Structure 1
């Protein structure tokens, strides 16, 4: 049982953390390929689900799949060797079953990456090809989800506030909460916390190299050289600014007010003014 879940609401820095971890474990001095990042969302793979569970998900109802997915996650943990990172945007949530979507036997730890919702709005909008008002509404909709497809399960998000609360207040998996803003302010020190928490050997020189090889300038340059497979076709780029505070610069006062009104308590809790 060696899975470490890399959980976050979309556009909160999950892929950046994956890039840092990949470069930390990369044996060469040069940056790792952006298309070789560890932490793929294998828990969403319908084909792996079918093979592991011995049943065709295409023949199951949504409710049956939701009830079976926690068991699938447990099976993934049983089959994992060493420390296995898996990215997820799923809310921690409780499907129509007796336990959480990520039960204790599905892994031994989780890292939850949180970002100021004001900054998520323009970043998520760029990624989705949508205007800020649509993203603001999406982030306050309890039914919000990322769609799946024939080969992949969708991910239920719910509201930003519920997503954050679900992961940060659950007591099923030992969880490290990482603020995106702290990664920006002091990448090496914050990443060192991630490395230590994950159970990896801590090497400051390697952490410094990883921070350099996965900084946003380097990631953008790599994306220009090779098409990033995880970029949506509607987006011009995946790796953009990597900054904090852009929401207040790009959103109108009315838009800022709507975000703060819906998420005020959690923003205060995590020092987002």
Structure 2
């Protein structure tokens, strides 16, 4: 049984006695939701998004039902290794770029050449899978044989507190990348439109904006997500590296060197003198990755890989948000982050 709060277990017993199975929540996206999870969902706050998909709030975050199943599987079964590296982010905050950079940093010890690089044959999301969406999506005890080489690289969109019990005694490292909320919103709007094969129209933007503002967005509220990693970084900076997308764009050489240092694979003077830092940055650039055949012709989790690459610009939100929308979002974020020391 999943490690759930005692009051949930009590509710389970009552519900099993009094509830007809037809009253349990319907599954979203697949048929992998266990009866136990369906019962849990029926006890949680729920919300229907602007596409009529249902979300529920578990431990302060909003998940679609199938994602919640993966979160529960992870919490029940994941056992970290000391050398594990987990790349974390709120969706559409620079996840793909962070994965590519990390893979390139770790891969350089195996081969100095880019001719047969893993990123030429697979998307960054295929190389660094999501714990709750991929690895633990169907089971709390998946086959991890393919992760035999160390360090193991994983990723997640879960907030830090969702992983706390599993990771609290482990020295494994976590890298978190955050992005300006307004740019994250716009990227989310375009991505959502693309995967649902819809035009990124004004109505959908306003619905996405509303969900961001009231916190009922997938994996939201975004401020709680960012703060969970920010606070953990302040507590243990040797375990959690907090990176900003804007700083990565403004000073890429300094930030990739910072990332390499944190991961325990700093650049040597010889590597820097030979231009390897710039070579990795160029190889992992949006221009290069988006142009690779592997990212133009295949899918990842039923999503066209090309949809993971759009503009990657800082400040693109100015082209779409009204001054009223900008001010409202700024006021909400300022209020939610007040006293944390974190600013956007």
Equivalent-residue separation in structure 1 for 2:341 and 2:315 (angstroms)? 17
SS state at 1:178 partner: strand
Report the counterpart of residue 84 of structure 2 in structure 1.
Answer: 3
Q: Which one of the candidate residues 26, 39, 43 is aligned to 2:128?
A: 39
Q: Which one of the candidate residues 68, 91, 110 is aligned to 2:174?
A: 110
1:206 lines up with 2:276 in the alignment = yes
| CA displacement at 1:81 relative to structure 2 | 5.3
- Closer, same or farther in 2 for the Cα pair 1:183/1:81, shift >3 Å? same
- TM-score, with length taken from structure 1: 0.72
Q: Which one of the candidate residues 12, 15, 18 is aligned to 2:99?
A: 18
| CA displacement at 1:223 relative to structure 2 | 5.6
- Closer, same or farther in 2 for the Cα pair 1:209/1:260, shift >3 Å? same
SS state at 2:311 partner: coil
Q: Which one of the candidate residues 220, 227, 230 is aligned to 1:165?
A: 227
SS state at 1:111 partner: strand
Q: Which one of the candidate residues 280, 287, 292 is aligned to 1:217?
A: 287
Matches within 5 A, 1:54-203: 82-94=150-162, 100=164, 102-105=166-169, 108-129=172-193, 131-145=204-218, 157-170=219-232, 171=235, 174-202=239-267, 203=271
2:120/2:294 contact within 8 Å kept: no
- Closer, same or farther in 2 for the Cα pair 1:122/1:227, shift >3 Å? same
Report the counterpart of residue 29 of structure 1 in structure 2.
Answer: 114
Which one has a bigger Cα radius of gyration? 2
How many aligned residue pairs are there? 232
RMSD (CA atoms): 3.1
Report the counterpart of residue 38 of structure 2 in structure 1.
Answer: none
| CA displacement at 1:189 relative to structure 2 | 1.4
Post-superposition Cα deviations, 1:91-145, rounded to whole Å, max 9, x if no partner, equal: 1125xxxx82552245522111010001111111111116222222332444543
Report the counterpart of residue 329 of structure 2 in structure 1.
Answer: 259
1:140/1:160 contact within 8 Å kept: no
Q: Which structure 1 residue ranges, 5 or more long, are not aligned?
A: 53-75, 146-156
